[in-house]
Structure 1
């Protein structure tokens, strides 16, 4: 009987300690998230245009013109920021698939381009990994932590890490399509009747992605021939692709509510390896106002 009481006491103390760690981890993670969000807002620049004018796409490749006419109503205001709630599945396995459910909140600003992705991945009942994935003022950040306390990886920098995060911002611009306009600094060149290359520059970084369009003229996939994949704490450059679907109209724009992101590995390494599948649950935009424009 005495042994049973001791065992129950140990279990109770362990449970209370775990609850305390969880609460403390949430508090600490919230502070880190707020700090990243503050940095994102500080880096924000004034918009350089008020609305989409169809005249600005007249000299673009036909496939790109078709996209903007399908995705944007003429005169729609320029998106300056967005808040996105996702749910989905994240593949935590490097060699063997290990899909886990996640929820996340993402804050995006379109000029200067940047975002903060704050995610919670449920590993086991009551046990989760918090993840910050971000691009802020030219710096890339990838920081997962068990319970928000115990760091599993902390990558930060202005080189390959930053390039990979800016690539994510660029590929996800299907959610905030005015950011792909020439007036927002994007350069387009034709590849064929279904695809085009787009180039985005931010500070010292310049990158080019290939956009492929579906039968309706909307973005079907976005591809890079080399993006940094983190394996064993190291970065390995591999082809990478995002696929978008389930388009619906939001605030005068056609945007995809469902997506999948994958590494394009050679057959001997398993071939195409999806690692993120998500659906937008809510999306709120902020738009340019005349008062924000430089005089």
Structure 2
């Protein structure tokens, strides 16, 4: 007898294949890790095909799993979107929205708008996955993601959710007790700079500068490196060197004198954060969310 896969089995498989983790996938589908693993193994046995390669440290789709993922993924997403769209026939909007955003964008522009949104629409659930790297939101099953305007692929719909912003290079006053303040980006070679590890590319962020039409990127050296701006700020406040962080993070510390800023005239302006998502039919709940987070000057 031919095996007929249940939608729940396919959703479970997609969650593991997209997350590359039974732990994260189990949280998404609302079951224990052991129950999820058992469900996938039972599905593989009924199909007679291994869909996932498992080791003690990782999980990844096999060739057969990749094929199944590419074929059924978009269809399952469409089914779920249609089911969520039925919420518009209810008295109150309802649905589930899953967003990928970085730490900075969540704190500065997204959360201040999600806060009143979920209070206004108690039947709409919003999940935000904090990830500082650039990911494929379609492959990972997100409804939308947040990036700077210049980073968004051309095949995505983008809605601006925040103003333009700049980075700031800062250090504690005591750091300059025995060092001269840099006057040009070239002077950074003689300084202890706090590096930022980029999640997407694995390397360190090259500090970006622009002045009088001249653009340049400088790779800095230093004793410390982190993968987030919050830790970099703490290190700078402790006097461990120069940090290049979003300007708004440093504002109150600059006002109090806990930090000083250098090379301000060299810092370029970046296009603000945008919510981006694929051009497919979306639920009424998602449309309400887009309108709620939209940037209004």
For this structure pair, what is the TM-score category when the shorter chain's length is used for normalisation? under 0.3
User: Larger % of helix: which?
Assistant: 2
Q: Which has the higher strand share?
A: 1
Q: TM-score, normalised by structure 1?
A: 0.24
Larger Rg: 2
Relative contact order, CA 8 A, sep 6+: which one is greater? 2
Q: TM-score, normalised by structure 2?
A: 0.24
